[in-house]
Amino acid sequence: MTSFTEHEQNIFVSFYLQMPESNKRLVLVAVICVTTLLLLLMYCKTMGSFSLASQQMVIKPKRSTFPRQLPPSPSCECMNHSVLLKDVLPKEQREAIMQRRTKEFQQHKARTSSVLSKLLYALPNSPLQYPIQGYTVRPLTPTLIPVLELHAGKRDSYKRAARLAQVSPAAEGGLGTFSSGQLPSSQPRCSKHHEGSAAGAQPPKKQAKTEQQLATETARLHRELEEVFLNVSKGILTTVTPDAQVTVNGAGTRGLSIESSSLVLLNELLAKVSYTSSTYHINSGDLAFFRFESHEALFPIVIKQPQVPVLYDMGTDIRSQVTIITKTFLRYPQLKVLLASIRKFYPDITVIIADDSFEPEHISGENIQQYIMPPAQGWFAGRNLAVSQVITKYLLWVDDDFFFTENTKIEEFVEVMEAVPELDVVGGSVEGNQFYFSILYEEGDGVEGGCLIRKSGGKFHPLPDLPKCYFTHGVVNFFLARTDAVRRVGFDPQLQRVAHSEFFMDGLGSLMVATCQDVKIGHQRKTAENTNPRYAKFRTPTKSDDGFKSQLHYFKNHLKCFLYS
Ligand SMILES: *[C@@H]1O[C@H](CO)[C@@H](O)[C@H](O)[C@H]1NC(C)=O
Ligand SMILES: *[C@@H]1O[C@H](CO)[C@@H](O)[C@H](O)[C@H]1NC(C)=O
């Protein structure tokens, strides 16, 4: 604003003091008049822009804006004493291994996530009705979208204003200067000068177009048209052919709009909107965008090929329900003790033995299947081989140096599994040792990898109505499991020597595991006769075994560090 500089003020004051009294009075009156005029002008200008701003604020549509996705997860912190897996990689190959891992991880992400993992928000006060969960379609198959409806109340001036603002550039946060002609009549008019400058800021051509748009829009509003818009990205939208009072645009494309002066007719067409995915995928999703005026919504569409169930017939007795499996290597004395103890309690149950001994010894007997492997194929390879031959719903894993007692009641395990059908694995106790653990896992930032701690003794709450059984993440080497679930996770045959927890790590989040204290099995004592020095040599992990395991965790499990505690 205009103001006097200090210098100008000084000149003015000294000039004023030198004047005669009568002149002074005249000057004073003049100064008061000018000041009043200036103040009035300033007031007008401020009020003008203020009311313009407030007008913009009022008519700016309460556009529903979806908050952005949550920020990416931060990298996880390795606990003290963790093994830092990057350090274990051979120096000269480190870069190449890291690059290969990054590529595989990206593929893993692509396989395991979809738009359906996106966080969606329902915004308040919306007249839009749509499915929020459970709308599932088969690939390439038209499927009606249920409950699609518009609940627009009677229009009021606010809604009209919102509609107006929607087509004006002001609402888009552009230049946003209205000429007086565009503003509703309630807009206070202060000075001609202001109007002129505001209109002058805009190119005349653009203004004309905006006015024309507004005129069209206003005309539409006067006819009280309702219009909804829907779009999707991986399919097309269709509805039935409308009658005269409804206009449908984009049927058979990704974006569909329906317009009518009748809410009833519009809703009739909305109720008949179908989605058809246009690409084949067995397990994917799409997000539908639904808009009416300034109200927006996103809802998920699950695209899924139904799976054929694979069921097991439980038959009538324990033999048709459970197969006992074990893996042996150079421990025939122990194996024979185990088999004899099994037969004492379960005379005809099937026993599967995977055997990778150097000089295999034939094991005979009713319902005993011995599978001879190439020598020293390893621990998990043997477990996998045995699992692959099971035809019953459940398998019971035992080590070859265990022995059955009167407390080895397989039926109790089966009862637990049948009572809680979501369970995949239930462990017991070996010579009084229930050994169970939880796995604390953080995915990390997706670049360095996750952090994992195997925590001995970790468990959750008891199973419903089974106070002696608890949910946990991993159990001891004596467990009953669903055959299909174990096959899905598998025992990684790369793990040749000491390995057990690794199965539960690979299965974290896919296996429901529990531990029960009442089902027990015995562990044979080491004696001079049953100890094979050659066995010990293979069984004891070497430094290179540990290094290999760490590399496996680094790459396969995309871990940064792990800790067994
Ligand atoms: C790790 O150990 C250091 C030193 O003993 C200690 O200050 C720190 O709090 C520990 N960090 C964690 C995560 O336990
Ligand atoms: C659907 O329309 C909205 C608004 O026009 C747009 O922002 C969005 O990108 C569109 N979505 C798809 C999948 O085309």
Q: Tell how far the Cα of 81 is from the centroid of ligand 1, in angstroms.
A: 10
* Number of domains the chain contains: 2
User: Same domain for 295 and 330?
Assistant: no
Residue 54 has pLDDT above 80, yes or no: no
Confidence of residue 41 (pLDDT cuts 50, 70, 90): low
User: Same domain for 139 and 258?
Assistant: yes
Angle made by CA atoms 71, 73, 75, in degrees to the nearest 5: 135
Closest to 417 measured CA to CA, from 469, 476, 364: 469
Question: What is the pLDDT, as a whole number, of residue 531?
Answer: 72
Specify which residues 352 forms β-bridges with: 325, 369
- Which domain CATH number covers 257? 2.60.40
How confident is the model over 507-530, as a mean pLDDT?
A: 92
Residue 154 has pLDDT above 60, yes or no: no
Tell me how far apart the alpha carbons of residues 9 and 31 are, in angstroms, rounded to a whole number.
Answer: 13
Question: What is the pLDDT, as a whole number, of residue 248?
Answer: 95
Q: Which residue has the higher pLDDT, 458 or 205?
A: 458
**Listed range (143-157, 161-175, 393-407, 469-483) with the worst mean pLDDT:** 161-175
| Any domain includes 446 | yes
Specify which residues 247 forms β-bridges with: 259
Q: Which residue has the higher pLDDT, 69 or 256?
A: 256
3-state SS record for 29-62 = HHHHHHHHHHHHHHHHHHHHHHHHHHHHHHHCCC
- Ligand positioned closest to the Cα atom of 234: 2
| Any domain includes 60 | no
Angle made by CA atoms 436, 525, 459, in degrees to the nearest 5: 5
User: Same domain for 279 and 387?
Assistant: no
Ligand 1 pocket residue status of 80, Cβ below 6 Å: yes
Share of the chain above pLDDT 70, in %: 72
Atom 2, ligand 2: residue with shortest CA distance? 231
Confidence of residue 162 (pLDDT cuts 50, 70, 90): very low
- Taking each helix axis from N to C end, the angle separating 157-167 and 21-59, rounded to the nearest 10 degrees, works out to 90
Residue 77 has pLDDT above 60, yes or no: yes
Tell me how far apart the alpha carbons of residues 213 and 507 are, in angstroms, rounded to a whole number.
Answer: 60
- Taking each helix axis from N to C end, the angle separating 543-556 and 94-112, rounded to the nearest 10 degrees, works out to 40
Ligand 1 pocket residue status of 79, Cβ below 6 Å: yes
**Listed range (354-363, 375-384, 473-482) with the worst mean pLDDT:** 375-384
Ligand 1 pocket residue status of 563, Cβ below 6 Å: no
User: Same domain for 242 and 380?
Assistant: no
| Any domain includes 345 | yes
User: Same domain for 231 and 257?
Assistant: yes
- Ligand positioned closest to the Cα atom of 65: 2
- Which domain CATH number covers 349? 3.90.550.10
Ligand 2 pocket residue status of 66, Cβ below 6 Å: no
**Listed range (70-74, 250-254, 539-543) with the worst mean pLDDT:** 539-543
Q: Which residue has the higher pLDDT, 220 or 394?
A: 394
3-state secondary structure of 344: helix
| Any domain includes 503 | yes
Atom 7, ligand 1: residue with shortest CA distance? 80
Ligand 2 pocket residue status of 23, Cβ below 6 Å: no
Q: Which of 304, 328, 361 is the last residue of a domain?
A: 304
Ligand 2 pocket residue status of 231, Cβ below 6 Å: yes
CA distances from residue 433 to 132, 413, 428 in whole angstroms, order as listed: 48, 17, 9
Q: Which of 304, 327, 358 is the last residue of a domain?
A: 304
Q: Which residue among 231, 296, 298 has the greatest number of ligand 2 atoms within 8 angstroms of its CB, and so is best to mutate?
A: 231
Which domain covers residue 129, as residue numbers?
121-171+219-304
Question: What is the pLDDT, as a whole number, of residue 74?
Answer: 82
Locate the DSSP E strands across 356-504.
368-372, 394-397, 402-403, 425-430, 437-442, 450-456, 462-463, 466-472, 479-482
Residue 455 has pLDDT above 80, yes or no: yes
Atom of ligand 2 nearest to the CA of 287: 13
User: Same domain for 406 and 300?
Assistant: no
Q: Which of 281, 304, 327 is the last residue of a domain?
A: 304
User: Same domain for 230 and 346?
Assistant: no
Question: What is the pLDDT, as a whole number, of residue 268?
Answer: 94
Q: Tell how far the Cα of 83 is from the centroid of ligand 1, in angstroms.
A: 15
How confident is the model over 415-428, as a mean pLDDT?
A: 98
Question: What is the pLDDT, as a whole number, of residue 241?
Answer: 85
Q: Tell how far the Cα of 544 is from the centroid of ligand 1, in angstroms.
A: 29
Question: What is the pLDDT, as a whole number, of residue 58?
Answer: 40
Residue 206 has pLDDT above 50, yes or no: no
Tell me how far apart the alpha carbons of residues 518 and 412 are, in angstroms, rounded to a whole number.
Answer: 9
Question: What is the pLDDT, as a whole number, of residue 547?
Answer: 82
| Any domain includes 342 | yes
Specify which residues 441 forms β-bridges with: 452
pLDDT tens sequence across 169-201? 333 333 323 333 333 333 333 333 443 333 334
CA distances from residue 77 to 135, 444, 456, 559, 563 in whole angstroms, order as listed: 39, 8, 20, 11, 12
Question: What is the pLDDT, as a whole number, of residue 11?
Answer: 44
| Any domain includes 329 | yes
Question: 10 Å Cβ neighbour count for 48?
Answer: 19
Question: What is the pLDDT, as a whole number, of residue 224?
Answer: 59
Closest to 327 measured CA to CA, from 93, 535, 181, 154: 535
User: Same domain for 378 and 257?
Assistant: no
Confidence of residue 48 (pLDDT cuts 50, 70, 90): very low
Tell me how far apart the alpha carbons of residues 46 and 149 are, in angstroms, rounded to a whole number.
Answer: 45
Question: What is the pLDDT, as a whole number, of residue 333?
Answer: 92
Averaged pLDDT of the chain: 81
Residue 96 has pLDDT above 60, yes or no: yes
Q: Tell how far the Cα of 414 is from the centroid of ligand 2, in angstroms.
A: 53
Question: What is the pLDDT, as a whole number, of residue 542?
Answer: 67
User: Same domain for 413 and 554?
Assistant: yes
Question: What is the pLDDT, as a whole number, of residue 496?
Answer: 79
| Any domain includes 353 | yes
Helical segments of 508-564, H only: 533-539, 543-556
User: Same domain for 238 and 285?
Assistant: yes
Residue 385 has pLDDT above 80, yes or no: yes
Name residue 305's amino acid: Q
Residue 376 has pLDDT above 90, yes or no: no
User: Same domain for 459 and 544?
Assistant: yes
How confident is the model over 46-72, as a mean pLDDT?
A: 49
Any residues with CB less than 8 A from the CB of 506 and at least 6 apart, and which?
A: 489, 490, 492, 556, 557
Tokens standing for 281?
Answer: 């995928």
Residue 436 has pLDDT above 90, yes or no: yes
- Ligand positioned closest to the Cα atom of 287: 2
Residue 134 has pLDDT above 60, yes or no: yes
Name residue 57's amino acid: M
| Any domain includes 5 | no
Ligand 2 pocket residue status of 253, Cβ below 6 Å: no
pLDDT tens sequence across 293-342? 999 999 999 999 999 999 999 999 999 999 999 999 989 999 999 999 99
Ligand 2 pocket residue status of 233, Cβ below 6 Å: yes
Confidence of residue 377 (pLDDT cuts 50, 70, 90): confident
- Ligand positioned closest to the Cα atom of 301: 2
Confidence of residue 539 (pLDDT cuts 50, 70, 90): low
Q: Tell how far the Cα of 108 is from the centroid of ligand 2, in angstroms.
A: 28
pLDDT tens sequence across 267-300? 999 999 999 999 999 999 999 999 999 999 999 9
User: Same domain for 249 and 376?
Assistant: no
Confidence of residue 18 (pLDDT cuts 50, 70, 90): low
- Ligand positioned closest to the Cα atom of 253: 2
